[in-house]
Amino acid sequence: MTLKVKNLVGGYSAVPVLKDVNFDIKDGELVGLIGLNGAGKSTTINHIIGLLQPFSGSIAINETTIDQDVKKYKGQIAYIPESPIVYKELTLKEHLEMTMLAYDLDLDKAWERANKLLTTFRLDNKLDWFPDNFSKGMRQKVMIVCAFLTDAKLFIIDEPFLGLDPLAVNDLLDLITERKKQGASILMSTHVLDTAQRYCDRFVLLHDGQVRTEGTLSELKAEFPEAGDSLNDIYLSLARQGGRK
């Protein structure tokens, strides 16, 4: 079990956003985190990556919590944020070097992997450029390259398709599929439900800070037979019900 979220209560102030959230991600599994704006997706992600401290409950990655060993815990995570985060004073090459040092990677192997990723995302001629001046889509590609040059066990990917061109979307999905086959696990928050339906193994649907339901598409269809056959149909039906069964 790569990720286990148990009885998580948390948020940004005294009033919790998340209320007893429970779900897990198995080895080599892609789980889609689905929900309306304000449902708690970003809050859940921020707790998992260690930016927020739970009020109660626990989060473990391969049975290690952040309180037990912060370096081991965070070293297993690669995070691709919804809004790319780059450093104004660093070139693309320096972003990659910083990532390699942060994850204590073998530099020769890391550069071999990085060069393949740079070529795939058409950034190989921009190593001396400053990503702060890139378009949103190109900065998103920098985040993808930095994440996937690591040996992370858990990839946290937040709305990855926003700003990416269709070719880059396809390249990212190929990367996700490849890492899944290698045993890595992925939690992906997205509103692009047709793509999520095709690629995700299971889904966790959040509503008002709680897990409304979770399961494979077949399990969701069996639970809500009147909602429709697609993930989009089921999602819209539950959203219109306000999360009620």
Same-domain status, 102 and 144: yes
CATH number at residue 55: 3.40.50.300
Give the model's confidence band at 163: pLDDT under 50 very low, under 70 low, under 90 confident, else very high: confident
Average pLDDT over residues 214-220: 96
Same-domain status, 56 and 158: yes
Q: Is 109 in contact with 98 (CB distance < 8 Å)?
A: no
What is residue 89's DSSP assignment? T
How many other C-beta atoms are found inside a 10 Å radius of the C-beta of residue 76?
A: 20
Same-domain status, 66 and 171: yes
Whole-structure pTM over 0.85, yes or no? Answer: yes
Task: Give strand pairing partners of 155.
Answer: 78, 186
Please, what is the Cα angle at 42 between 179 and 240, to 5 degrees?
Answer: 105
Is residue 235 domain-resident?
A: no
Q: Which pLDDT tens digit goes with each residue over 5-62?
A: 999 999 998 889 999 999 999 999 999 999 999 999 999 999 999 999 999 999 999 9
d(CA 61, CA 177): 20
d(CA 146, CA 150): 7
Q: What is the pLDDT of residue 1?
A: 76
Q: Which pLDDT tens digit goes with each residue over 187-213?
A: 999 999 999 999 999 999 999 999 999
Q: What is the pLDDT of residue 69?
A: 97
Same-domain status, 48 and 140: no
Is residue 35 domain-resident?
A: yes
For residue 165, give both structure tokens. 């061109």
Mean of the per-residue pLDDT values of the chain: 95
Domain that holds residue 111: 87-151
User: Taking the chain, what is the end-to-end CA distance rounded to the nearest angstrom?
Assistant: 29
Of 43, 46, 47, 77, nearest to 62 by C-alpha is 77
Q: Is 34 in contact with 190 (CB distance < 8 Å)?
A: yes
d(CA 233, CA 169): 23
d(CA 210, CA 214): 11
Give the model's confidence band at 239: pLDDT under 50 very low, under 70 low, under 90 confident, else very high: confident
Counting residues of the chain whose pLDDT is more than 90, the rounded percentage is 92
Q: What is the pLDDT of residue 233?
A: 94
